Amino acid sequence: MKQGIFTITGNTPLTKTVCKMTLEGDTSAITAAGQFVNIKIDGLYLRRPISVCDLNGSTLTLVYKVVGKGTETMSRMKAGDTLDILTGLGNGYDLSVCGEAPLLVGGGVGVPPLYLLAKRLIAKGKEVKVILGFNSAEEVFFEDEFKALGVDVTVTTVDGSRGVKGFVTDAFKGGFGYVYTCGPEAMLKAVYDKCGCGGQFSFEERMGCGFGACMGCSCRTLYGNKRICKDGPVLVKEEIIWQK
């Protein structure tokens, strides 16, 4: 983990509620796809955890959904503004165990961390397939970015206004031996029930510190109590206990 000051270089809306922010700073603490950063925002007490979407040298890309005061403030920030950010938080995805044909499944604002993951898996020569789930066509983002990586992309929408009608699991066609997923807990559970293979699941929880000190985001697993911020956010399928 490192604390650093980042300078915003871009901040543009992708949909009505989802924005993409690019920043420049010391990204050296970020070691894995699926990690997150924790952002200090003027006027708010606790930092706001946001997953890492992409990383290119000192350029950090965050894709976030405006859901409250913190992300609302972020959405109004401009190029040249600075943010105090803790980087390199969480375990991230383990790329070493996925076989040759992993499936990446993202739901809504769970899509962004899969982008860096896809890039890194491709770099390792994996044959990556991606399913991106949204409620409707107007909420779809990053379809073109994933396609530009040359991977097989399927979009699903609940209302059928784009791609396959239904949930991400309605687009399961086999041909994958491992899943990496991030999204709402109900989606994670559906993927868990229907994937028929091993996988890694990224969870979300309200956090205090984001680096393992406060025990605010604890969960039970078959491998013992874990802190989503420090021992997660990625849990392996075999350890997950569904509680909610």
- Per CB under 8 A, residues contacting other proteins are 1, 3, 40, 44-47, 69, 86, 205-209, 211-220, 225, 230, 243
Bridge-based pairing state of the strands 164-165 and 152-157: parallel
What is the smallest separation between the CB atom of 180 and other proteins, expressed in angstroms? 23
Contact between residue 85 and residue 4 where contact means Cβ atoms under 8 Å apart = yes
Comparing CB distances to other proteins, the nearer of 49 and 163 is: 49
Contact between residue 153 and residue 143 where contact means Cβ atoms under 8 Å apart = yes
Comparing CB distances to other proteins, the nearer of 139 and 204 is: 204
Q: What are the strands, taking DSSP E only, across the chain?
A: 2-13, 18-24, 36-40, 48-51, 54-56, 59-65, 82-89, 102-107, 129-134, 152-157, 164-165, 178-182, 198-202, 218-221, 224-227, 234-236
SS3 state of residue 152: strand
179 forms beta bridges with 103, 199
What is the smallest separation between the CB atom of 97 and other proteins, expressed in angstroms? 26
Comparing CB distances to other proteins, the nearer of 28 and 56 is: 28
What is the smallest separation between the CB atom of 230 and other proteins, expressed in angstroms? 7
The conformation of residue 180, written as its DSSP 8-state character, comes to E
Comparing CB distances to other proteins, the nearer of 83 and 171 is: 83
DSSP result, 25-46:
S--TT--STT-EEEEE-TT-SS
What is the smallest separation between the CB atom of 219 and other proteins, expressed in angstroms? 7
Comparing CB distances to other proteins, the nearer of 14 and 219 is: 219
What is the smallest separation between the CB atom of 46 and other proteins, expressed in angstroms? 5
